[in-house]
Amino acid sequence: MEATKERIAKGYSHSAPRYDALAGHLYLMGIRRLLPRARTGPMPAILDVGCGTGVNLLEAARWFAPARQLCGIDISPGMVSVAAAKAAALGIPATFTVGDAEQLPYDSGQFDLIICNSVLHWFKDRGAALREIGRVLKPGGQLLLICAASPGFREWFAFTDQLRQLIGLAPHPSLVPNLPTAVEVGGLMQEAGFVLDHLANPVHLQQITDYESFIQLMSTVAPLWSADLPPELEQTVEQLAAKLMRAAFPGSFPSTWAAIEAVGTRIP
């Protein structure tokens, strides 16, 4: 596996135990906005690409019950084991696989609906990833896509770059490729063989006042900025980060949140 993907897998496995408690509700809100746009018929076969702890697939299982097939795939073993444990506890017959979304281990045309929430921005070649999703989707099947967008998290990226410098770490490796715009993602979906049913680009400028919670949240949902730190230093660095943020941004830390929400139908 290439080095960046190894870091992603390791970073999210580290996040997995606290992911749902800190962030699960945020991802749930996103997929709940898109599920009503699905025109999937009865008993759909559903795939969740980059399923994480299974938040989206388990919500879709509830929405479409009964589903014919429920599959989730994620590169992070820690996330997959949390997802599998939740499905077992809920009695939902979902199958979770550790694997790379850029080479999906499924047959062409296997799924009626694919969900991909907050994953696409990690891919270097997003067009190829969308073509791969299109391959395993039935003609006429739908993709519910959410991903981080430009100029999201710009203040956070600048802050963590400076923090790494301050504590003597090498500059932040450019692990998150440049975040895309809605126009770019819409274009890539069309090139990959989708007709766009919906494309939105919500952007908010948040004023963060609870620095500790925000840093914990960001370190959980985007764990790579600190993935090369020894685990025993994690808490100390998070506390230091909160102190520095408070000192540098007294009152509040501005944080741009920007997403792309898209629904596409695979051209028959």
Ligand X SMILES: C[S@@+](CC[C@H](N)C(=O)[O-])C[C@H]1O[C@@H](n2cnc3c(N)ncnc32)[C@H](O)[C@@H]1O
Footprint on this chain of ligand X (rule: CB under 6 A): 5, 8, 12, 27, 50-52, 55-56, 74-76, 79, 100-102, 117-119, 122, 221
Provide, rounded to whole angstroms, the least separation between the CB of residue 89 and ligand X.
Answer: 17
Distance between CA atoms of residues 256 and 258, nearest Å: 6
Q: Are 266 and 142 in contact (CB under 8 A)?
A: yes
Provide the minimum distance between the beta carbon of 51 and ligand X in the complex, in angstroms, as a whole number. Answer: 6
Kind and range of the H or E element at 160?
helix 154-166
Cβ 16 to ligand X shortest distance, Å: 8
For ligand X, the closer of residues 192 and 221 by Cβ is: 221
Q: Which of 116, 46, 122 is nearest to 87 (CA)?
A: 46
Ranked by CB distance to ligand X, the top (closest) residue is 52
Q: Both tokens of residue 71? A: 């599959």
What is the smallest separation between the CB atom of 158 and ligand X, expressed in angstroms? 20
Structure tokens at 27: 């991802």
Mutual orientation of helices 3-19 and 211-221 as an angle, nearest 10°? 130
Of the pair 12, 211, the CB lying nearest ligand X is at: 12
Exposed/middle/buried for 11, CB within 10 Å: 0-12, 13-18, 19+?
A: buried
Query: Which of 195/200 has CB closer to ligand X?
Result: 200
Q: State in angstroms the smallest separation of the CB of 267 from ligand X.
A: 25
- Give the nearer residue to ligand X in terms of CB position, either 52 or 180: 52
Supply the DSSP symbol for 229. S
Q: Which two tokens stand for residue 11?
A: 């970073």
Nearer CB in complex with ligand X: 79/189: 79
